[in-house]
Structure 1
């Protein structure tokens, strides 16, 4: 993969940075949510910027990636976003949704976790 130089990369919520100024990206694990997905370390800045985009979407913007990989990355990012949102739904609302819509959010959440875990295992090989 080659770095795309002099390209402006959106970080979300009106934040932009030049692609060749990004020195590191780090997913936020704790306190992650809308508007808080990734720490972006930028050349000559003491503290990282907080991006609302995931590390995969930022990485896809700063490097040349084959279309197939980009599409798979977008799908995994979407699953991660759905999982983040599902984790916010409390037990009472989950029970109501299951009863009213016959939609088991716990089962969906577990399946997404399995898919994401499998994808991580494949990437680490």
Structure 2
């Protein structure tokens, strides 16, 4: 998990703080209620800021997967989906296409083309030929 830098995180009730300055989140157990859900510890203050949002929602806004990890995960999911589509029986593929308008072969082909490495050479032969 990677913290998004310089991103303003909404803490509730018109309170915002920079994501990279938040160093800790502590759910309020006693006295928790409207306007009092999480103590947010920040690097620039000695006392925590009281937030009306849950620690999970604040953390979700602060963090994200790096773009490279997202791309790798999406590629892995696409490969799994292509494999699953290949395993469908021809009868089921025909039924999906005829009854629901879902062409399994078309979508499997699109996914395979997305997964192919892009060497950047497509259309280059026409530039200098």
Q: TM-score, normalised by structure 1?
A: 0.51
Does structure 1 residue 52 correspond to structure 2 residue 52? Answer: yes
After TM superposition, the runs of 4+ consecutive aligned structure 1 residues lying more than 4 A away are none
> What is the CA–CA distance in structure 1 between the aligned matches of 2:10 and 2:32, rounded to whole Å?
19
Q: Deviations over 1:50-94 (max 9, x none)?
A: 00000000000000158xxxxxxxxxxxxxxxxxxxxxxxxxxxx
> What is the CA–CA distance in structure 1 between the aligned matches of 2:11 and 2:27, rounded to whole Å?
13
Partner of 2:100: none
**Secondary structure of the structure 2 residue equivalent to 1:40:** strand
* Structure 1 unaligned spans of 5+: 67-125
1:21, distance to aligned residue in structure 2 (A): 0.2
Q: Deviations over 1:98-125 (max 9, x none)?
A: xxxxxxxxxxxxxxxxxxxxxxxxxxxx
1:8, distance to aligned residue in structure 2 (A): 0.2
> What is the CA–CA distance in structure 1 between the aligned matches of 2:7 and 2:44, rounded to whole Å?
18
Aligned CA RMSD, in angstroms, stands at 1.2
> What is the CA–CA distance in structure 1 between the aligned matches of 2:54 and 2:17, rounded to whole Å?
15
Partner of 1:9: 9
Partner of 1:118: none
> What is the CA–CA distance in structure 1 between the aligned matches of 2:61 and 2:8, rounded to whole Å?
9
**Secondary structure of the structure 2 residue equivalent to 1:46:** coil
1:19, distance to aligned residue in structure 2 (A): 0.2
Matches within 5 A, 1:30-109: 30-64=30-64
Q: What is the number of residues matched between the two proteins?
A: 66
> What is the CA–CA distance in structure 1 between the aligned matches of 2:21 and 2:3, rounded to whole Å?
11
Q: TM-score, normalised by structure 2?
A: 0.50
1:44, distance to aligned residue in structure 2 (A): 1.9
1:9, distance to aligned residue in structure 2 (A): 0.3
**Secondary structure of the structure 1 residue equivalent to 2:9:** strand
